Every structure is written in structure tokens, then in C-alpha cells.
């Protein structure tokens, strides 16, 4: 049959109003065509996500199904291979399914529901893999409403949380998604250390109140390296008059008899000792915050 003749078949031919041989042949070809199921395979780790030729139409259909109303404004729910987000009256429900995904997959979902945020996939300790870190406002939150996150358990995905923040907040907002750190790679962690001793890195061992020499010896027995951070106290009118900050310090500045307040894993093979400076350490320097993971360029 000539394909040019088939192309001229009219709508009424297909609807059954006529029974031209050309129309009957076309309908027979359509109905007898074998159809194969389309399967959208989960992308493997570290493979850049994109549309494979031949799967573009199916992938677009899937995105539209979960992103109804995408054209013309934010949607109330959105999902892709990395994360699903649902917007309610007071918060956003976030379920992370693939913490190793490219950050653009996470940003795509947040922006679909109306949040203009930056997402960074950051190296973390094994216990924090898959966790959502933030929202973080590097320049300070000065807007109506509030901002925060509450983890939800039990969780059918890798991580579930409620995130509340104004959808119209114009400032810079950053989220982190924890990925497994490589051996020896420093962990990203913005949470402050409790100067009274709230962090203990070593299972079955309490470091708080012990001397640097004692804790360092225990690390040596466990085959771990040691790092040092000095905990400085300073006057701050905005926090009941007293605040703390910590700074990295070389071993040459640390005395064996100084007291350890906390310990925290710096990487898979190194533990940081948070040390209270002794009397001969000199006056506390002016606070000088170090760059954090959310300050780093993409």
C-alpha cells in the first residue's frame, strides 16, 4: 500500500462513517501492531540523569503525572527518582529515596513546589547518609513565619521529614543531602559542639573531662588519627552574655594536660578533640567563623 494514500485518510474515515479500503487498511495496521511495555529503569549510582532516546515521551508523561499544574505555577506535589515533596498548608513533606542523586534532581523537586533553594549533596558519617540537613539560611532568617525541619519515623524511604518555611522567603536557603563520604574524606557538619560535653565519638569510652594525653592514647589503641579544635568562650550580649566558638589548631598548640570537652569524627579515620584551653593558652581570639559546606561553590 502507498503510504501517501494512507496519509490522506480523513477523520471520518477512521470514525467508521466511511468504509474506504484505505481507511480499513490503516485501522487494521493500527490494531494489529504489537505493543511492548515501557519500563523506566532506576538510574545507577553516579550516572548522570537524562532522557535516553526513545524514553523521552514516557519520562515526560511520568513527570506530568506527579506534577499536575506545573505549567502556570507551583504544584502541590512532585516526585522524581531522588525525592518526593508534597506541599500542605503549614509545611512540606520531603521523602528522600536516592541520596546519591545529582543535586539538580533535588533542586528540581523543591522548585516545582515553589521553593527557590540550593541543594548540595555532601559527605557525611555513615549514620547521616540520606539525611536532609537544613534548611540553612547563611545570612540569617529575617522574614514572617518560621523555618525548620522535623524528622518523621517510621519512614518508608531513606529519609522522611516535615520542613516548614515561608514559600515566599526571598533570601538564600540551602539544604544538604548526606551521601557516603569516601575513606578519609572530611564530613560536612554545621551543628555546634556542646562545650559541656555532649559529643562522644568512641563507643564505650567517655572522653569528656579526660586529659588530651589520655584521649589521644585511646585513639592510638583504636588505630585512629587525631585532630584538635580549641573551644573558646567569649562575651556575647545576644546570648545571655556568653557564647562559644571553636577553631582548628595544630598539635603544637595543644598541651597534654588540657581537658577534652567532646570528641567527634572528622572523617572515617580521624577524630577531632574539642579541647578547653588551659590557663597558659592566652586570651580568646575574636570569633572568626570558618567556611562551611553551604558556603562552598558548587
Mean pLDDT for each consecutive 10-residue tract of the chain (298 residues)?
A: 40 42 44 35 27 29 34 82 93 94 95 92 93 91 93 94 91 93 92 81 96 98 98 72 85 96 96 94 83 83
Q: What is the pLDDT of residue 237?
A: 61
Q: 67-78 as b/e, with b when 16 or more CB fall inside 10 Å?
A: beeeeeeebebb
Sheet of strand 148-151: strand arrangement: 77-79, 83-87, 92-96, 159-164, 148-151
* Lookup: cell for 256: 597534654
**Beta-strand pair 83-87/77-79:** antiparallel
Whether the model pTM is above 0.85: no
Q: What angle is formed at CA 297 by the lines to CA 296 and CA 298, rounded to 5 degrees?
A: 115
* Lookup: cell for 42: 532506576
Query: Distance between terminal CA atoms of the chain?
Result: 58
Contact 133, 96 (CB under 8 A): no
Contact 161, 119 (CB under 8 A): no
Q: What is the pLDDT of residue 244?
A: 84
C-alpha span between 277 and 175 (Å, rounded): 34
Q: What is the pLDDT of residue 201?
A: 95
C-alpha span between 113 and 91 (Å, rounded): 11
* Lookup: cell for 248: 582548628
Helix extents (H) in the chain: 3-7, 11-14, 21-32, 56-66, 103-112, 212-221
C-alpha span between 164 and 1 (Å, rounded): 63
Q: What is the DSSP letter of 170?
A: -
C-alpha span between 212 and 110 (Å, rounded): 45
C-alpha span between 203 and 265 (Å, rounded): 12
- Spatial CB neighbours of 287, under 8 Å, sequence gap ≥ 6: 232, 234, 243, 245
- Spatial CB neighbours of 30, under 8 Å, sequence gap ≥ 6: none
User: Alpha-carbon torsion 79, 96, 98, 42, what sign?
Assistant: negative
C-alpha span between 41 and 55 (Å, rounded): 10
Q: What is the pLDDT of residue 183?
A: 96
Q: What is the pLDDT of residue 195?
A: 80
Q: What is the pLDDT of residue 54?
A: 30
Q: What is the pLDDT of residue 289?
A: 77
C-alpha span between 187 and 123 (Å, rounded): 5
Amino acid at each position: 500500500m502507498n503510504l501517501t494514500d494512507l496519509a490522506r485518510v480523513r477523520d471520518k474515515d477512521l470514525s467508521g462513517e466511511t468504509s474506504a479500503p484505505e481507511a480499513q487498511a490503516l485501522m487494521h495496521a493500527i490494531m494489529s501492531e504489537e505493543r511492548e511495555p515501557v519500563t523506566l529503569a532506576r538510574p545507577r549510582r553516579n550516572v548522570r540523569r537524562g532522557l535516553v532516546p526513545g524514553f523521552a515521551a514516557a519520562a515526560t508523561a511520568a513527570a506530568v503525572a506527579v506534577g499536575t499544574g506545573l505549567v502556570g505555577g507551583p504544584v502541590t506535589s512532585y516526585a522524581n527518582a531522588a525525592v518526593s515533596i508534597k506541599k500542605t498548608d503549614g509545611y512540606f513533606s520531603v521523602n528522600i529515596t536516592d541520596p546519591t542523586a545529582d543535586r539538580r534532581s533535588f533542586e528540581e523537586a523543591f522548585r516545582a513546589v515553589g521553593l527557590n533553594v540550593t541543594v548540595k549533596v555532601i559527605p557525611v558519617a555513615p549514620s547521616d547518609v540520606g539525611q536532609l540537613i537544613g534548611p540553612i539560611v547563611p545570612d540569617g532568617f529575617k522574614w514572617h513565619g518560621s523555618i525548620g525541619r522535623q524528622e518523621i519515623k517510621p519512614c518508608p524511604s531513606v529519609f522522611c521529614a516535615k520542613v516548614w518555611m515561608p514559600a515566599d522567603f526571598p533570601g538564600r536557603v540551602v539544604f544538604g543531602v548526606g551521601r557516603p563520604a569516601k575513606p578519609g574524606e572530611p564530613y560536612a557538619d554545621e551543628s555546634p559542639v556542646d562545650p559541656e560535653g555532649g559529643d562522644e565519638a568512641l563507643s564505650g569510652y567517655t572522653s569528656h573531662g579526660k586529659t588530651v594525653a589520655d584521649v589521644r592514647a585511646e585513639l592510638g589503641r583504636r588505630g585512629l588519627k587525631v585532630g584538635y579544635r580549641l573551644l573558646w568562650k567569649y562575651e556575647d550580649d545576644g546570648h545571655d552574655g556568653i557564647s562559644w566558638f571553636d577553631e582548628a589548631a595544630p598539635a603544637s598548640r595543644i598541651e597534654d594536660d588540657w581537658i577534652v570537652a567532646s570528641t567527634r569524627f572528622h572523617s572515617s579515620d580521624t577524630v577531632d578533640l574539642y579541647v578547653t584551653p588551659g590557663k597558659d593558652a592566652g586570651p580568646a581570639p575574636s570569633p572568626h567563623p570558618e567556611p562551611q559546606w553551604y558556603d562552598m561553590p558548587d
